[in-house]
C-alpha cells in the first residue's frame, strides 16, 4: 500500500494549537506525526502511543519577551495582544515592539494607495497637505496599521496613548481613527508654530515643549533625521504626485 501524506492537517494542527492556546507562542510546543494503518499521516499536539508516532516539529519558546501593558484604556490590552500574536507568528516581533520596514516597495505603494482616500478626507478637514500626512505615515510605520513601538506608539501614525486621548480618539488601532488623530495633531502643531513645517514635524517627533525650549528643531540625532526624512518624502510627493487609490480601507481591516 502506498503511503498517503496529507499536507493540510499539518497547517490545520499547528493553526489549532495557536488558536486554542495563543500563549503557546511563549511556551515549548511540539507537533507529532503518526502514520495510521491506512497509510494516512496525521499530526497532533500529543504523542500517540505506537511505533509509528514520532516528533515532527518543535516550536521553541520566545525568551525574554514582555508585553508593555501600562495603559489604562480597555482597548489597549486586547489589541496589543492581538497585534502581538499576529506579528510573532509572522516573525515581525522583536523586544517590546514590532519591527516594520519599507523594503517591499510594491507592498508599500499598495498600502499608500489604500489609505489615500482616508488621508485626503482628514487632510481636507484639518487643512493639512496630503503629501505631508503621507510622508509622516511612511516614516512612522511604512503604512503598517499594526505597527507598535517599544515606547507604546500605535498604528499608522504611531499615536501615543496620551496623544490619542488628547485628540479624542477612542481606538488608535483603528486605521481611520489613527489617521484622523495624527492629522489633527500635526494640524495643531502647524498652527502652534505658525505654519513652519520643520518645527511642526519636529514637534510631532519630540514634542512641542522641546521645540519651544530650543526655539527650533531640538539637537537630537533622531529628531533631526526624522525631520530630514519626512521633508524629503514630502518634497518627493509634491514633485511626483500622490498615489491613487486602488483598494478600499475596509479591505485592510
> 74-252, what's its fold?
Lysozyme (1.10.530)
pLDDT digits (tens, 9 = 90+) for 80-105: 444 443 433 333 333 334 444 578 88
> Which of 179, 94, 194, 190 has its CA nearest to residue 145?
179
Q: Of these residues, 127, 129, 130, 140, which one is catalytic?
A: 140
Mean pLDDT of 40-60: 65
Q: What local confidence, expressed as pLDDT, does residue 104 receive?
A: 84
pLDDT digits (tens, 9 = 90+) for 14-25: 444 444 444 444
8 Å CB contact between 183 and 120: no
Mean pLDDT of 100-121: 87
Kindly report the backbone phi and psi dihedral angles of residue 7, in degrees, each rounded to the nearest multiple of 5, phi listed first.
-85, -35
Residue 133 has pLDDT above 80, yes or no: yes
Three-class SS state of 246: coil
pLDDT digits (tens, 9 = 90+) for 173-191: 999 999 999 999 999 999 9
Give the domain ranges of the chain: 4-59, 74-252
Q: What local confidence, expressed as pLDDT, does residue 101 receive?
A: 58
Please indicate whether residue 130 is annotated as part of the active site. Answer: no
* Cell digits of residue 15: 493553526
Residue 164 has pLDDT above 90, yes or no: yes
Q: What local confidence, expressed as pLDDT, does residue 53 receive?
A: 73
Q: What local confidence, expressed as pLDDT, does residue 247 receive?
A: 45
Whether pTM > 0.85 for this model: the answer is no
Residue 169 has pLDDT above 70, yes or no: yes
Three-class SS state of 94: strand
Amino acid at each position: 500500500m502506498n503511503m498517503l501524506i496529507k499536507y493540510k492537517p499539518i497547517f490545520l494542527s499547528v493553526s489549532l494549537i495557536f488558536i486554542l492556546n495563543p500563549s503557546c507562542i511563549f511556551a515549548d510546543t511540539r507537533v507529532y506525526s503518526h502514520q495510521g494503518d491506512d497509510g494516512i499521516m496525521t499530526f497532533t499536539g500529543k504523542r500517540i502511543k505506537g511505533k509509528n508516532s514520532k516528533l515532527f516539529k518543535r516550536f521553541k519558546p520566545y525568551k525574554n519577551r514582555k508585553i508593555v501593558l501600562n495603559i489604562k484604556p480597555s482597548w489597549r490590552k486586547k489589541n496589543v495582544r492581538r497585534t502581538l500574536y499576529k506579528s510573532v507568528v509572522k516573525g515581525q516581533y522583536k523586544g517590546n515592539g514590532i519591527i516594520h520596514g519599507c523594503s517591499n516597495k510594491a507592498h508599500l505603494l499598495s498600502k499608500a494607495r489604500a489609505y489615500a482616500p482616508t488621508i485626503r478626507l482628514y487632510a481636507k478637514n484639518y487643512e493639512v497637505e496630503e503629501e505631508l500626512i503621507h510622508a509622516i505615515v511612511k516614516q512612522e510605520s511604512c503604512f503598517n496599521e499594526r505597527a507598535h513601538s517599544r515606547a507604546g506608539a500605535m498604528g499608522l501614525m504611531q499615536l501615543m496613548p496620551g496623544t490619542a486621548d488628547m485628540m479624542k480618539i477612542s481606538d488608535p488601532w483603528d486605521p481611520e481613527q489613527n489617521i484622523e488623530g495624527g492629522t489633527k495633531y500635526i494640524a495643531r502643531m502647524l498652527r502652534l508654530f505658525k505654519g513652519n513645517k520643520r518645527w511642526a514635524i519636529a514637534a510631532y517627533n519630540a514634542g512641542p515643549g522641546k521645540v519651544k525650549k530650543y526655539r527650533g528643531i531640538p539637537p537630537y540625532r533622531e529628531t533631526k533625521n526624522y525631520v530630514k526624512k519626512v521633508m524629503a518624502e514630502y518634497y518627493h510627493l509634491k514633485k511626483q504626485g500622490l498615489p491613487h487609490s486602488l483598494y478600499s480601507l475596509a479591505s485592510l481591516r
